[in-house]
Amino acid sequence: MRRIVIAALLAFAASSAIAADHAVEIKGMKFTPASLSVAAGDSITFTNMDAAPHTATAEGGGFDTGRLNKGESATVTVAAGEHAYKCVFHPSMRGSVTAE
Ligand SMILES: [Cu+2]
């Protein structure tokens, strides 16, 4: 019984070390932080605080939150590379994610 508990704890520790979750807030027509460095395989949760709908859509197709209305969030997983992204509704809203 004790061995099973230890194995479960080790599995939890390993998985949390491998994939971290990061947060980007969309507020005032801006992504905050606008640039982010993560590890490949990490996830990023985008949350829209604005009344206007937004997306976080990678130019190269690496990820796309889809439309986020006020108060909504979406979590994407990021592959290795440099991902410039924008809001499809407001293309001047830009951000970038570097995953290594
Ligand atoms: Cu937008």
- Report the CATH number at residue 58: 2.60.40.420
Cα 86 to averaged position of ligand 1 atoms, centre (Å): 8
In a domain, residue 51? The reply is yes
Place of tokens 């995953």: 99
In a domain, residue 86? The reply is yes
**How many domains, the chain?**
1
Cα 22 to averaged position of ligand 1 atoms, centre (Å): 20
In a domain, residue 12? The reply is no
pTM above 0.85, yes or no: no
- Neighbouring C-beta atoms of residue 53, cutoff 10 Å: 17
| pLDDT tens-place values along the chain, 100 residues long | 566 555 555 555 555 557 899 999 999 999 999 999 999 999 999 999 999 999 999 999 999 999 999 999 999 999 999 999 999 999 999 999 999 9
Which domain, by its residues, includes 66?
20-99
Give the single-character DSSP code of 29: T
Cα 66 to averaged position of ligand 1 atoms, centre (Å): 11
67 class by beta-carbon count within 10 Å (0-12 exposed, 13-18 middle, 19+ buried): middle
Backbone angles phi, psi at 96, to 5 degrees: -145, 150
Cα 70 to averaged position of ligand 1 atoms, centre (Å): 11
Q: Is the peptide bond before 53 cis (omega within 30 degrees of 0)?
A: no
